[in-house]
Amino acid sequence: MTSTEQTLSNSIQVDTSRYLHIPHPERVLPQLSIEITGHCFLPRLDDLESDWVAHVAAPAFKVYRQQRGGAAIESFCSIGTGSGLDVLAAIEVLGAGRVGLTDVHEDVVAAAVANVSRNQRTADHLEIQSGSGDLLTPLHAYGARYDVIYENLPNIPAHCAEAVTQEKNSSAYVPPRTEELPRLVKQQMLDLHYLALLQAREFLNTGGAVLSCLGARVPLDVFLSLGKLAGYTPSILTYGWKVQGDPEWIRDYGHNQASGFGPFYFYRAEVLQQTFADLDPADTGRNALEIERSLQTRRMDPATAYAAYEDGERIAHTVAVLQCELK
């Protein structure tokens, strides 16, 4: 595929009520027109249980606002936004009036800015701050701080820098990082999440929070340690599950575990669906460790999970939204 072909875009339509699970959107259009470039990770509109924004981020935003007594936030930032659907969710659910967004590809950022701009329901002024590059670095020029900084960054490194440039989407990152990282962070392949937390310290408003959307293929106490190592007071905001969107990643985790990383865990989707079916998202964060303990006998290593997938089973993993606040 040529670079020209990679950056070609197409448009998808998103039903806001269905996607965000809200009856009547107030701040964004009821039907979103979303431009997707060749480098953008595709939303999973045909299976919302495998979509990060619909199934994980938006419910977490609702819980975060509930914890604030329903008060809206003034500003929101997304690191690695992709299509910009996470920003639109924050505008609708959190009430953000100023947003920042970054991604590694220029075409992805340009499309995301256009997506956010064109899908506003009202004429209220929305300030958009954006840039392409590494994590929060592109936003230095604005000198801005945010009430909520959100990230859902990849865990698995690409084989080389060219792979990220040439791949259809940004589901992997460029190795190696030159920064010094704690052993636990390296062991569990949480490099970018840790670095994002470090950078976020100078972008976060007093009283604000960093929300890290994490595929919980590792124990929850690892995520809490991640926040502490980065100098925050961490807690689990929400705990849930999602279908493994790309089953080939199960094999990638298996290869990395065989190389000494992890261990990593997966589940049969029906197990997690039953476990979380009657749980209120507002309660899952408080009870996350107890829920995790109840699932220990049902988890599978990557090799077992991939074999189950090849036998026709849907494979899933738990997910956590880590809330980090400055000490």
Domains and CATH numbers, the chain: 3-242+319-326 (3.40.50.150)
The pTM is what? 0.92
3-class DSSP state for residue 216? strand
Specify the range with the lowest mean pLDDT, choosing from 33-37, 40-44, 86-90, 113-117: 40-44
* Helical segments of 3-48, H only: 3-7, 16-20
> Residue 156 has what pLDDT?
82
Question: Are the C-beta atoms of residues 137 and 80 closer than 8 Å to each other?
Answer: no
Say yes or no to pLDDT of 8 above 80.
no
User: How large is the average pLDDT for residues 284-306?
Assistant: 98
Specify the range with the lowest mean pLDDT, choosing from 58-62, 72-76, 133-137, 152-156: 152-156
3-class DSSP state for residue 46? coil
Which is more confident, 70 or 179? 70
User: For residues 97 and 119, what is the distance between their CA atoms, to the nearest angstrom?
Assistant: 14
User: How large is the average pLDDT for residues 213-220?
Assistant: 93
Q: Who's near 48: CB < 8 A, 6+ residues apart? A: 18, 19, 54, 55
- In degrees, rounded to 5, the angle at the alpha carbon of residue 321 between the alpha carbons of residues 105 and 101 is 25
User: How large is the average pLDDT for residues 208-234?
Assistant: 96
User: For residues 60 and 237, what is the distance between their CA atoms, to the nearest angstrom?
Assistant: 7
Q: Across-strand partners of 76?
A: 99, 148
Terminal C-alpha separation, the chain: 48
Task: Give me the sign of the Cα torsion angle 9, 319, 253, 300.
Answer: negative
Average pLDDT, the chain: 91
Q: What is the pLDDT of residues 78-87, one digit of tens each?
A: 999 999 999 9
